[in-house]
Chains A and B, each alone.
Chain A
Amino acid sequence: MADRLYGMGGVSSGKGRPGRKRYAMAIDLRRCTGCNACTAACKTHFDVPLGEWRIWVMETEVGKYPDTKRYVLPRLCNQCDDPPCIPVCPTQATFKHPDGFVLQRYNRCIGCRACMVACPYNARHLLPDHRRDKRNPRNVADKCDFCVVRVTRGLAPLCVTSCTGGALIFGDINDPESEVARTVRDNKVFTLRPELGTAPQVYYIGLNESIADPEFAFLNRSAQLRERYATFKRNSEVGGEMAGNIDESDMGFFGLVRQGLHNFGTFFAEAPKKFFRGLY
């Protein structure tokens, strides 16, 4: 098990662009109740499809009964200063805004999903074809954008405004008087996976170093979560673009062949439809 000390470096060394804002978020986990109001607000506002998330809350129970403690960890795009998703994007559809946002140009994205494979935080997803409002972007990559449209109009991101415990603090970290700058300055802050050098701009206060580790998440899934996950994987072909989804409980020889054929089947069955679901 990894025993890293998360956020040893504190605030990342990058300072953003001179004379520009540098938006960042601090999440005070001591105040987070795990109510998922942020998730609901974000999902509703952006019409985030079923099974995809711009922000979500990971919940972990640590210890053995009766000495247990429950940790919650809201997760969203870290708006990294050195984001791995940008250099691998073949069409420059994703880019770093001078004010710190990592943004997505829907009209350039070809849906190759290289950015999703590159993101260490699983913060990106593909918008499916079957969206509630067909005018919304489809079949392209999407992610949390710190509610750039709201922020540029002087409003806080939706997750921040909806947070019932006041755990989410947002602002310009370059302004020493801003709440987020003071919070980050006055507290011991941690970032997710700092060893990757992505310089995340979402800072956590009171982060449990074990639960913020992919290895912990992989090895310590509850039985119910595994079952729900397998069900989700079995039912999640979205235009064949997620043909890597496998049911881990069925990976013997016949299971592998069956899943391979099934995934290929959906991939090719969906192929003709792709050419008729919107010319461009």
Chain B
Amino acid sequence: MEGQVIANAFQNAYWGFPIALYFWLVGASAGSFVISTLGWVFGVKKYKPLALFASNTAIVALLIVPVLLIIDAGKPYRFFHLFIFAHWSAPMVWGSFLILTYPIAMGFYSFFVHKENQLWARRLGILAIVLALSTHWYTGVVMQLNPARLPNHTSVAPLLFLTGAYVSGIGLLILCLWLRNFLVTVTARVSPELMADMARLMLYGIVFDLFLLGNEFLQMTYGTGEERTILYEVLLGVFRWPYLYLEIVWGLLLPLIILVIPRTRRSLNGVLVAAFMTATGVYGMRIWWVMASQYYQGHF
């Protein structure tokens, strides 16, 4: 039908850049912690030396999260209502308990890694990795369980979040390890070969992320009119910079190319560039995932 809306209320987008940053930080923390557990939980010995640093990076990234969330709330002093009036059907309550327990478990894990207590490091590592994955899974679920919000309302959402977390966490960790190498003694440095090996793990995540995004793209292309409209807006319209350029091209395709060419994937510079691109590119995904649906419905 031909026509135009000439008067309407203006709707706000209530979650924006800070919430996108929160999702990114939780993800980076989870991804970083996955690498930390490779040595002490999954028995990949070459990753043992960087376990403590990776775990501490994950803790630092996660400690910023409650600050962001509490500042973002309209009533910061009421944050404890999340626990005393907990409404168990709300994903935000699940997340509150996860964000509370996950850093504690990581802290204990770090302690036992520091003490080189294999038994308890493994036990705490298993617990913390379950909490790490759950914490980031819940951020996907928070967006997923809004039936009226497209494209968030898809069961792919938590997987997309987890994969993004995995790649951005490894990317962030590689950059932090590279910076750390300037500050520590030669013997404590992480070798470029190990960083290249981490980049290989990141590559698997990139491929899987592209696969998931391809599925999401297919679903929306063959979807309802609303889905196609939103797909246009994120792909070529208002959100083309966060989605197409920042996430797909900058965050996934270019690192993919760098990491499949043998010469660049073995060079430290190539690995660092790919790590930086992936870590920052995932923030593009967080932006359009949080804001596109609200922007679209801001006119209704």
Contact = CB atoms under 8 A, between A and B. Distances in A.
Interface of A: 1-2, 51, 53, 56-64, 75, 84, 87-93, 108-114, 116-122, 125-126, 138-141, 193, 196-197, 208, 210-211, 214-222, 224-225, 228-229, 232-233, 236, 239-246, 248, 251-253, 256, 260, 263-264, 267-268, 271, 274-275, 279-280
B35 to A, nearest CB: 28
Interface residues of B, number: 66
Nearest to A279: B77
Contacts of A264: 17-18, 21
B18 A240 contact: yes
Nearest to B300: A214
B92 A90 contact: yes
Given A221-B4, A246-B291, A274-B71, A117 B15 contact: yes
Contacts of B87: 87, 89-92
B1 A210 contact: yes
Contacts of A1: 1, 225
B245 interface: yes
Across the A-B interface, the 10 shortest Cβ-Cβ residue pairs: A111-B74, A244-B16, A244-B13, A120-B148, A62-B3, A139-B74, A243-B16, A214-B300, A90-B92, A56-B9
B74 A58 contact: no
Contacts of A267: 17-18, 71-72
B148 A275 contact: no
Contacts of A59: 5-8
B93 interface: yes
A256 B241 contact: yes
Nearest to A241: B74
A2 B73 contact: no
A217 B86 contact: no
A269 to B, nearest CB: 11
A242 B12 contact: yes
A110 B74 contact: yes
B93 A241 contact: no
A88 B6 contact: no
Interface stretch (B42-50, B139-147, B154-162): B139-147
A260 B294 CA distance: 16
Nearest to B233: A218
B148 A58 contact: no
A246 B295 contact: yes
A237 B147 CA distance: 27
Contacts of B240: 251
A143 to B, nearest CB: 13
A118 B14 CA distance: 11
Nearest to B85: A91
Contacts of A61: 3-4, 6
A88 B145 contact: yes
